[in-house]
């Protein structure tokens, strides 16, 4: 299951349902991918449920949001959109 955090309202929300496998080798990316000014989220799930550290295939998921975004995503990837660990609004 992919869960998002709303820092302003101190709550969590479900972004995508539980997928079989494991997500130990990647961090989701959030941003505007295709020029339609809507938020996209990319994440990876490995296929092997028994050897979660093995590399036996994976699925790349793309969520297309209905939320419009005309500004940069403040925390779009691992360690933030600027990869420095600083949250900027």
Domain ranges of the chain: 2-68
Q: Mean pLDDT in each 10-residue stretch from start to end of the chain (89 residues)?
A: 84 86 75 87 83 78 82 73 77
Residue 62 confidence (pLDDT): 92
pLDDT value of residue 12: 93
8 Å CB contact between 63 and 39: no
Radius of gyration of the chain (CA): 14
pLDDT of 11: 93
**What burial letters (b/e) apply to 21-58, b meaning 16+ CB within 10 Å?**
bbbeeeebbbebeeeeeebbbbbbbbeeeeeeeeeeeb
pTM: 0.68
Q: Is the dihedral of CA 9, 86, 26, 30 positive or negative?
A: positive
């Amino acid at each position: 299951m992919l869960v998002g955090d709303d820092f302003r309202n101190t709550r969590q929300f479900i972004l995508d349902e539980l997928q079989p496998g494991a997500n130990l080798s990647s961090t989701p990316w959030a941003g505007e991918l295709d020029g339609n000014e809507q938020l996209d989220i990319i994440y990876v799930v490995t296929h092997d449920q028994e050897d979660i550290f093995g590399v036996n295939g994976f699925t790349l998921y793309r969520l297309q949001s209905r939320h419009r975004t005309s500004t940069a995503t403040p925390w779009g990837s691992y360690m933030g959109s600027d990869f420095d660990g600083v949250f900027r609004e």
